[in-house]
Amino acid sequence: MDHYCVFGNPIAHSKSPDIHAAFAAQTGQQLTYEKRLAPLDGFAAAVHAFIAEGGKGANVTVPFKLEAYRLANALTVRAQAAGAVNTLLFDAHGITGDNTDGAGLVADITANAGVPIVGKRVLLLGAGGAARGAVLPILEHRPAALVIANRTVAAAQQLVQQFAALGGAGIVSACGFAEITGSFDIVINATSASLQADLPPVPPTVFQPGTLALDMMYGKEPTVFMRFALEHGATARDGLGMLVEQAAEAFHGWRGVRPDTAPVLANLR
């Protein structure tokens, strides 16, 4: 029996064990998956302890994704691009770091919401770790434009420079929240505003009828951002589908089997 876990602090609220248990049951994979609370100053030690117990892989959530990036001795292309790691694989080569967040986001938009990204205008709010992980997977779907808006414009500009070489030249641009102009087909909230029940300061003109507004956060009730988008004619979606899809991507990386996410997402809803 192979062992997996998710590291975080806090971690009690995590739905990951339920998701991976459902994937394992569906695909006939024999494994266990648990939550592990890592001390804020003891993430690396917690990972090495889990490896010593025979752990095969782990997910990493807040606040350890940057530390996981530094801990890995090999990185996938998308983890390198994201500058953060949410999935670890342990084998004879050591610790491989991957980032499945962006791929999960894109799968949720294109497959679950049924909205293609190709040729669309995409607005990404925020320039932190969550936004960073999303840029390369979005660019791989060839949008007409990807605008990264952030409170600190320099941070958004840094992302633009980083991804210009990775197929983003002429497609990716940066601005402050106040400088956003025009409407978008897809608006993604990658800021932490929803955690504080707050709204990123975006003009309502970014939404048009048919805009998909996706908040990476999720809760029992729609977020402030989702309600704001709905009031201005958009379709709103929370981050639960992204959570399930990033988990499926990690599961596939560990087990070589891709689970069917639809029934698992429906069950969580």
Q: Per residue in 84-93, pLDDT tens?
A: 999 999 999 8
Q: Is the confidence at residue 226, as pLDDT, over 80?
A: yes
Measured CA to CA, the distance from residue 55 to residue 47 in angstroms comes to 9
Identify the DSSP state of 14: -
Q: Is there a binding annotation on residue 127?
A: yes
Q: Is there a binding annotation on residue 162?
A: no
Q: Per residue in 233-269, pLDDT tens?
A: 999 999 999 999 999 999 999 999 999 999 999 999 8
Measured CA to CA, the distance from residue 190 to residue 167 in angstroms comes to 21
Average pLDDT rounded to a whole number, residues 31-51: 98
Q: Is there a binding annotation on residue 216?
A: yes
Residues annotated as part of the active site: 65
| CA triple 114-214-76, angle to 5 deg | 80
The number of angstroms, rounded, from the C-alpha of 146 to the middle of its chain's C-alpha atoms is 17
Domains 2-99+242-268 and 102-238 share a fold: yes
Measured CA to CA, the distance from residue 237 to residue 220 in angstroms comes to 13
Q: Is there a binding annotation on residue 101?
A: yes
Q: Is there a binding annotation on residue 226?
A: no
Taking CA atoms, 28 is separated from 205, 257, 267, in Å, by: 48, 10, 19
Average pLDDT rounded to a whole number, residues 206-226: 95
Q: Is the confidence at residue 51, as pLDDT, over 80?
A: yes
CATH topology assigned to domain 102-238 = Rossmann fold (3.40.50)
Q: Per residue in 94-118, pLDDT tens?
A: 999 999 999 999 999 999 999 999 9
If DSSP states are collapsed to H, E and C, what string results for 25-38?
A: HHHCCCEEEEEEEC
Q: Is there a binding annotation on residue 97?
A: no
Q: Is there a binding annotation on residue 192?
A: no
Q: Is the confidence at residue 198, as pLDDT, over 90?
A: no
Instruction: Report residue 1 as tokens.
Output: 């029996």
Q: Is there a binding annotation on residue 173?
A: no
CATH code given to domain 2-99+242-268: 3.40.50.10860
Q: Is there a binding annotation on residue 54?
A: no
Q: Is the confidence at residue 168, as pLDDT, over 80?
A: no
Q: Is there a binding annotation on residue 15?
A: yes
Could you tell me the residue ranges of all domains in the chain? 2-99+242-268, 102-238
Nearest to 80 by CA among 57, 93, 72: 72
